[in-house]
Amino acid sequence: MYQALYRQWRPQTFAELVGQEHVARTLQNALEQERLAHAYLFCGPRGTGKTSVAKILARAINCETDPAREPCNQCAACLGIQAGRVMDVLEIDAASNRGIDDIRELREKVRYAPVEVRYKVAIIDEVHMLSQEAFNALLKTLEDPPSRVLFVLATTEPHKLPATIVSRCQRLDFHLIGIAEIADRLRSVVKLANRTISEDAVYLIAEEADGGMRDALSLVEQVLAYCPGDVAQEDVLAVLGAVGRDIFHMLTEALLRRDLSAALFLLDDVVARGKDLHHFTQQAVRYYRDLMVVLACGKEAERMGIGPDWLQPLSKQAKALGMATIGGILAELHGLLAEVRWASRPRLLWELTIFRLFISGGGVAQIAPEPDGMTTQSSSLAKSRPEHVVAAPGKDQPLPALTRMWPRVMDLLKKESVKTHALLLSGDVALRDANTLEVRYEAQIHCEMMDSPENRRPLQAVLKEVFGVELGICCVKVANVTGAFAVEKDPEEIFSSAVEIFHGQVIG
């Protein structure tokens, strides 16, 4: 029966593990020195090798050649564990077996000495899905584990585990795998399949995998099934439902020429082809991130995952734009990414974003034409002063991005600090300058309260999360709260806010 590529290419030894050399070295040294912990916690994103390493460790510790740096994968123990026939190696999916009864059953099994191999190994995948009662049942076993039992807990969300569990395990963090490492493995896979694939296609799949080798192998398998012959970039784009980098290259050229109509026609073509605009936005973020990397790293940008074929075109555009403008575009796209997924009219959001990229108010320096109508690398675009996404045109003129994203700021702030949220509802906000948010109150006591660290810190943290930049906060007392950007207030919310601020209670 046919096996999926990610199963065929699952690493069988520590040497075959890609991108996790620190994990392999730690475990190999522990095996060699006979200093294995009784419980390991493998943390990291999906598709980075956590379960594969757990199985390699189970074979290595039970290999008939004695615990060694690598399992032989030829003895009866190794072959039995590979095939899943060894009853002493237990694998539990905590996503579907998360109750206390499942853990009680596991505890009963590990109480007895191993039958077929030297060590019992209990692998609990997605361990963060266990219920609180199940964690409590597991804790006692981890505190006082039976001899010749090894626990391996794997999770993508370690922050959800109780501290009592984490403290009794040796934690190993798995990292996202680099684009270059994924690309090397994909070339080997395609070559052994007696197929050829273009470099653009390889890097496109590696980027889309987002650091996960399993996702990369699943994507390349889908592409190989779609395309019976040689694989080109167009085949990958068709499978992914994505657009080529040439679209963003042309969009940037239109931006440099100040050709708004050309940019809008490009967007119209993307929409007409039925492309998902959320994925399109993610691709745009990657493209301008690559522009930033190329401008900063020059010829060394290939080490940061830039395809060699795109190095020169990206370098030319990056120099023409300048770092300040690229940063402004990225900040604008970051805000768009948060909105476009749930928007009822994502095309309109993109059109508004394109429009803001052609004017000075959207965090991108204004692109002024040269006297002869042509834009060159020495144009005002490259000479523009650095501006962030929250750079304000004037003291009393709020930035459109701030106005648009303010409801999200308030929602996040309410989760972070109810008191600060309530206090902010009593005032107005506007941008004082490029790096300062001005909060205006009629009462001096409100200014003093907002200026305190307990209220300033949560607001600054939320502003950084939403806008991606550090903002100072300036509290000002005014005669009338009529700022340029007034927060819309509900009377009932104002009443409840007053109760929160002054720690009061409603009587009667």
Continuous segment of H or E residues that includes residue 431? strand 428-433
Q: Are residues 319 and 249 in the same domain?
A: yes
Q: Are residues 137 and 43 in the same domain?
A: yes
Q: Are residues 91 and 156 in the same domain?
A: yes
pLDDT for position 476: 86
In the predicted structure, residue 39 carries a pLDDT above the cut 50: yes
CATH of the domain at 310: 1.20.272.10
pLDDT for position 489: 44
Please tell me the least confidently modeled range out of 156-165, 267-276, 367-376, 451-460. Answer: 367-376
pLDDT range class, residue 486, cuts 50, 70, 90: very low
Domain count, the chain: 4
- Mean per-residue pLDDT over the chain, rounded: 82
Domain boundary among 153, 173, 193: 173
In a domain, 391, yes or no: no
Cα 64 to Cα 57: distance, rounded to the nearest angstrom: 13
Q: Which phi and psi angles does 488 have, rounded to 5°?
A: -70, 130
pLDDT for position 407: 78
CATH of the domain at 484: 3.30.300
Please tell me the least confidently modeled range out of 42-46, 93-97, 410-414, 432-436. Answer: 432-436
The model's pLDDT over 240-287, given as tens digits with 9 standing for 90+, comes to: 888 888 899 999 998 888 888 889 999 999 999 889 899 999 999 999
In a domain, 508, yes or no: no
Q: 324, 365 in Cβ contact below 8 A?
A: yes
Continuous segment of H or E residues that includes residue 419? helix 418-424
In a domain, 395, yes or no: no
Q: Which residue has the higher pLDDT, 62 or 464?
A: 62
Domain boundary among 218, 240, 262: 240
Q: Are residues 377 and 496 in the same domain?
A: no
Q: Are residues 356 and 462 in the same domain?
A: no
Q: Which two tokens stand for residue 304?
A: 């940061």
Q: 164, 274 in Cβ contact below 8 A?
A: no
pLDDT for position 372: 41
Q: What is the mean pLDDT of residues 196-219?
A: 89
In a domain, 390, yes or no: no
Q: Are residues 294 and 371 in the same domain?
A: yes
The model's pLDDT over 291-333, given as tens digits with 9 standing for 90+, comes to: 999 999 887 887 777 877 788 888 899 998 888 889 889 988 9
Q: Are residues 32 and 165 in the same domain?
A: yes
CATH of the domain at 159: 3.40.50.300
Q: Are residues 329 and 306 in the same domain?
A: yes
Q: How far apart are the first and last CA of the chain?
A: 75
Burial of residue 508 (number of CB atoms within 10 Å: 0-12, 13-18, 19+): exposed
Q: Are residues 92 and 128 in the same domain?
A: yes
In the predicted structure, residue 378 carries a pLDDT above the cut 50: no
In a domain, 306, yes or no: yes
pLDDT for position 368: 39
Cα 94 to Cα 75: distance, rounded to the nearest angstrom: 30
Q: Are residues 166 and 196 in the same domain?
A: no
The model's pLDDT over 3-19, given as tens digits with 9 standing for 90+, comes to: 788 888 889 999 999 98
In a domain, 388, yes or no: no
The model's pLDDT over 152-182, given as tens digits with 9 standing for 90+, comes to: 999 999 999 999 999 999 999 999 998 889 9
In a domain, 506, yes or no: no
pLDDT for position 402: 67
Domain boundary among 119, 138, 173: 173
Q: Are residues 17 and 160 in the same domain?
A: yes
Structural domain containing residue 341: 245-383
Q: Are residues 358 and 437 in the same domain?
A: no
In the predicted structure, residue 388 carries a pLDDT above the cut 80: no
In a domain, 187, yes or no: yes
